[in-house]
Amino acid sequence: MKASLCIDRHFTIGSVDKRIFGSFIEHLGRAVYGGIYDPGNPLSDERGFRKDVFELIRQIDVPVVRYPGGNFVSAYHWEDGVGPRSLRPKRLEPAWTAVESNEFGLNEFMDWTKAANTTPMMAVNLGTRGAEDAKNLLEYCNISGGTLYSDLRRSHGYQDPHNIRLWCLGNEMDGPWQMGHKTAGEYGRLAAETGRLMKMVDPDIELVACGSSNRNMSTFGYWEDQVLEQCYDQVDYLSLHTYYGNPQDNTPDFLACSADMDAFISSVISICDSVKARKRSKKQICLSFDEWNVWYHSKEQDKQLPRWVQCPPQLEDIYNFEDALLVGSMLITLLRHADRVKIACLAQLVNVIAPIMTDSTGAWAQTIFYPYMHASCLGRGTVLQTQIQSPCYESRYGDVPYLDAVTIENEEEETLTIFAVNKNLSEDIELTADFRQYEGYHVSRHIVMTHSDLKAVNTKKNPNEVIPADTGISSLENGILSSHLPSKSWNVIILKK
């Protein structure tokens, strides 16, 4: 099968905001306890942070981590998780029917972000609480001292403010499952007042308003329009969430889900710009796709878990090779919208629908770890408009090209990086692209991840069953790139000057 890419160095989409490669830690399952935090374990440091998990996180170079939820945040009292641990209460956690010990809280998370070389994206509770609580939390985090909550932080041993710049105004408030679920009008008004109050305290923070929980919500479109009608002037980003699965074992349709993600993003951009035009505003709202991933493997087993216990093993999807292919295409989709998608969070980071898994004796990388790592570490720069000429196949989302690809130029490092997925399950793709505008470049690497078994997984006993290798076949002659993309494969082709 033959396919080609058409690019021009002068036709760009936009610069990649590194926060597009963010992730997410929620007080859910073993994400925190037994995941990033495991005191007493020989693999943990003196603060209880898992050192083996740090090693894997640093390989991904995660720029931002959303916390503490997720559904969890909608009934969370942040005060429960600060101060002496001996005084912190245990509480029922209704979102995930567990018990929260509050042993790990805000200050521990901030210590963890520094150790992990990342930055926080903090969410406030707009489910069971509201604007006043959000203001108090911001004061605790960002004011130097001399006030009630900033001095409370200092009494807890943190003399310097945390200086958190990015804040989520609640989580999935359109969802009937959400504690404190609201109508679009109710939430839009609350987000506007909360945002206004928070920016009175710290005018330099950035705020993310809740968009629809997914594109299939009955209120999708109406929700975005009405929320932004209320809070357009107070917020900087609108969120999107989506998860995909393959319970019917239809791999072609599953791999086509990135087309649905692309349409979701385009629709929300149109709504944002419609509200902008209606308001005659000069301000542009960008997008925060702060929950996305594959999620379906664990749903049946989670129904059997006991209620009201601490950190049960919830949402522990074991990812296979085809999941990694879709995650690669979803990363390509985010990059193709780099002009408007400025923040994105793979949900989540450790154990809970995550690229990293742990047990008490070690940590290992799941299949989806590798496209995420490649995109984060090699996908910084300017996204070029990448026109794909490829045969297509029919799917529930319409005709979808077998080839999914995007090209990023990094002028500082003088590299061009192509991320490509061959979605054809039986045929290789012979890819060509004209790079004659880039004189003096050569093929530096061609990384390939492929496997004969779409259901192959990585385990602790066999963590290298599905891994990438520098075995790709690519050449650049007289400015024309020729690459061989194996059937069902993730590819990273790097050209260097």
Q: How far apart are CA 75 and CA 423, in angstroms?
A: 42
Nearest-angstrom CA–CA distance, 92 and 409: 49
Catalytic residue among 291, 316, 322, 409: 291
Does residue 412 carry a catalytic annotation? no
- Which amino acid would we find at residue 285? I
Q: What is the rounded distance in angstroms from the CA atom of residue 430 to the CA atom of residue 486? A: 9
- Across the strands, what pairs with 66? 24, 121
Hey, which residues does 450 pair with through a beta bridge?
Answer: 489
Report CA torsion sign: 238, 339, 6, 491: negative
Q: Dig out the tokens for 171 from the structure.
A: 């989580």
| 172 labelled catalytic | yes
**Rg, C-alpha atoms of the chain:** 23
d(CA 179, CA 96): 11
488: Cβ contacts below 8 Å, ≥ 6 apart? 321, 322, 325, 422, 423, 424, 425, 450, 451, 454
Exactly one of 26, 172, 224, 322 is catalytic; name it. Answer: 172
What does the alpha-carbon distance between residue 164 and residue 336 come to, in Å, rounded to a whole number? 28
Residues 6+ apart with CB under 8 A from 304: none
Catalytic residues: 172, 291
